[in-house]
Structure 1
């Protein structure tokens, strides 16, 4: 008996709802629908580097180092990478650790300012698949005559990750507080080290990793040189670092 009452009540409600809709439609039959549409395509144009101290100043900066290139193009790009300069040092028979020189960049208003060394990555693919930034030391520190600064190695420390205030994407993760780069032997490149990892649905838009800040920047990129390593007077030693941007997270 109770079951029948419940069923009847439901049926009455459904019928009443149907009549209510019919009466509303009958009042104003002159209606029509339109649509709004938008399609997004990949933006393959280069992305200008921003000020790593304050990326929210939405104006590009320019490097003053003539050896810094314009970055890579494409929807997933490396927009800027600092060169590491350690200046002119005295020859020493003891182990020495040298601090990097701060970058000098030109701001949008034309001022030259110092910044901690940094790298900038932009993801405009629209796939949200994530990415990985890696680095390896391709060559030892060599003179123009191929004399090696034996035993020397680089350390990258104190990662600081920033983006613009309007970017709501989850940040990529700095992989380690300290990365040590050593060149390979017998002409082979050194081991690949992961710098930043953006997992799926993270790392979209523009991201900057600085090594330290304006105070700690010099000691956040260091060159160690053994005292027993031969050093040629007035010779400049250079090493090549290769930065690799992989279009997916690397475990």
Structure 2
């Protein structure tokens, strides 16, 4: 488990002196202070198992480390569609499940693809998470024209016990305009602690929750087609 807050307890040295009581009579009184300082986390929060978010995991194919600071994107899955034959008809492909290793026992698991956010700022100010597709899928100079990437069946999970943020159930990305799409957002007093937005509520649903639709008339060439998803966490509520 990780520590998200560093607690410092400061108790000043005080002198308390009480005289003798005579019946109900108070002989003396003295006031002292008890102080505590809460600091936002400094360390990067590790990814958790989206199906059981109390358990930290390590991705089998890790991407970039999470962002530092008290409001952070801890992890986002790299979306893998695998190998497929070229087709001259409309085809829908579904992303492979995420492969992770559970740290407590070293067990390798399949889980839905997901993105994880932590808010340990301590101001309950709210936030919003967006995603955008940087460009259409490309293979060198070859563009997969008309291909549509969609994130479906979004579900929330958390090891925290605060008020839930709000999720967008279906997210259709626009590779032409590069416009951002909202994934989830927290109003004031929502979304504190760590929250996971997973695509599919379990492994079975996760198998069909990220899809790529490619028109049959699109020109296709052998090779690896790829693009970049940009996840943006804004320090402001809706």
TM-score range, shorter chain: 0.7 to 0.9
Alpha-carbon shift at residue 30 of structure 1 (Å): 4.4
Q: Indicate which of 115, 120, 131 corresponds to 1:119.
A: 115
Who is 1:15 aligned against?
none
Q: Indicate which of 170, 176, 186 corresponds to 1:178.
A: 170
TM-score by length of 2: 0.86
Task: Indicate how the Cα distance of structure 1 residues 25 and 65 shifts in structure 2: closer, same or farther if over 3 A, else same.
Answer: farther
Who is 1:246 aligned against?
234
- Aligned residue for 2:138, secondary structure, equals coil
Alpha-carbon shift at residue 182 of structure 1 (Å): 2.0
How big is each residue's C-alpha offset from its partner over 1:72-115, in whole Å with a ceiling of 9 and x where there is no partner? 11110000100111110111100000011000001111111100
Q: Indicate which of 53, 56, 66 corresponds to 1:55.
A: 53
How big is each residue's C-alpha offset from its partner over 1:176-221, in whole Å with a ceiling of 9 and x where there is no partner? x21111212xxxx511100001001110010001100201102100
Who is 1:130 aligned against?
126
Who is 2:33 aligned against?
35
- Aligned residue for 1:216, secondary structure, equals helix
Alpha-carbon shift at residue 42 of structure 1 (Å): 2.2
Q: What are the equivalent positions in structure 2 for 1:196-207 lying under 5 Å apart?
A: 196-207=184-195
Identify the structure with the greater strand proportion. Answer: 2
Aligned mates of 1:178, 1:40 — CA distance in 2: 37
Q: Considering only aligned residues, what root-mean-square deviation do their CA atoms show, in Å?
A: 1.7
Q: Structure 2: which 5+ residue stretches go unaligned?
A: 1-20
Who is 1:153 aligned against?
148
Identify the structure with the greater helix proportion. Answer: 1
Deviating beyond 6 angstroms after TM superposition, the runs of 4 or more aligned structure 1 residues are: none
- Aligned residue for 2:37, secondary structure, equals coil
Who is 1:218 aligned against?
207
Task: Indicate how the Cα distance of structure 1 residues 152 and 127 shifts in structure 2: closer, same or farther if over 3 A, else same.
Answer: same
Alpha-carbon shift at residue 44 of structure 1 (Å): 2.7
Who is 2:42 aligned against?
44
Aligned mates of 2:118, 2:47 — CA distance in 1: 10
